[in-house]
Structure 1
């Protein structure tokens, strides 16, 4: 009795007969689910990336809005440096900056040829860069309460520049701090102060500074300078205004030029 030959084509078509073929078929059935899963994972990763990027962008926008609102007079000093050079010349070669973000300003000044610079940070330093930490370790930038005597000898600096610091002091402490600024300078003091009505120090900043900023008018400051026996530096004022006009520079903060004590 003859046996019928086996049809190999039919044998291969039987998925239950060959495990390898069954596996391929199962994967083909599950491929839509796998694709959907990959799409979901990709979407989650994309959302996470966008969220982290938006966080960085929002902090950058926050910084810009602070500058646009006049909240940072220290940033204004950076913009005014070319004008200050024209107004003060050699007096800008040995500078002390008093105010927040002194590390940034001091770093910019140190890039200038034949310029020595130091800084006093009147508030606690939070999340500072490695470069700033290095300046603090070297003693180039110090953290010090400006309501107390400054840790420098008389006339240690040719010029003292102050920004975002005096606005947070009451008249009681200004009576102590202003004479100290005059004591450690030899050629003058430049004060950058906010205009009345500008938004300053909210939330955590108030806690950090101890009190909200008290933005005073120019007439208030001038009266206070007279009471403190501090004279305005008319020569520096004129040179600063001339240099500002040539560079089309308009300060976003009030700028006062004072003489040092004799």
Structure 2
């Protein structure tokens, strides 16, 4: 998702030191991880939820090096709790049924130290509240109000207008 790549400077302002060890989850993870790896003092990994059969050489090289994994996110991620300072998810949750979404979101939060940033591709829809049980039972995740304010402030200063909804969630502690 190009949106994540556009938002990297704003994410850096909002998350600060949390931008040092990042996991990106989404169908465009190879290009997002490649861009993140160019950021100063940033290590990045990715989970590609779909097959990479048609992927370019760079993506296949990232998979071969173990930087990007191909994995079905409906099942637990192959990482220990608190493995990453920040988890960024894009275009990966919209297609999950409520049953799987309620398992996947807590698992994404489990591997994060400082939070979970979700980009959802649903422009034109009103911004949902995390507390609304749109996807079935409530997952006990809370929005990170402080990070939301930092993100919005940085976005305004940098004239960034998001083309999708985004959520900043607290990790499980």
Matched, 1:80 2:41: no
Secondary structure, aligned partner of 1:168: coil
Partner of 1:247: 158
Structure 1 equivalent of residue 141 of structure 2: 230
Larger helix percent: 1
Work out the number of aligned pairs and report it.
171
Q: Residue 128 of structure 2: SS of its match in structure 1?
A: helix
Which segments of structure 1 move beyond 4 Å, counting only runs of 4 or more?
Answer: none
CA contact (8 A) 2:130 2:141 kept: no
Shift of 1:113: 1.4
Q: Which has the higher contact order (CA 8 A, sep 6+)?
A: 2
Superposed CA offset, 1:36-72 (max 9, x none): xxxxxxxxxxxxxxxxxxxxxxxxxxxxxxxxxxxxx
Normalization by structure 2: what TM-score?
0.94
Displacement of 1:151 in angstroms is 0.4
Map 1:1-262; keep pairs closer than 5 Å. Answer: 74-195=1-122, 217-219=126-128, 221-224=130-133, 227-262=138-173
- Alpha-carbon distance, 1:126 to partner: 3.2
Q: Which moved more, 1:135-144 or 1:118-127?
A: 118-127
Where structure 1 has 5 or more consecutive residues not aligned to the other structure, the ranges are 1-73, 198-215
Q: CA deviation at 1:170?
A: 1.0
**Distance of 2:29 and 2:157 partners within structure 1:** 28
SS of the residue corresponding to residue 78 of structure 2 reads coil
Match of residue 71 from structure 1: none
Pair 220,86 (structure 1): closer, same or farther in 2 beyond 3 Å: closer
Post-superposition offset of 1:219: 2.6
Larger CA Rg, structure 1 vs 2: 1
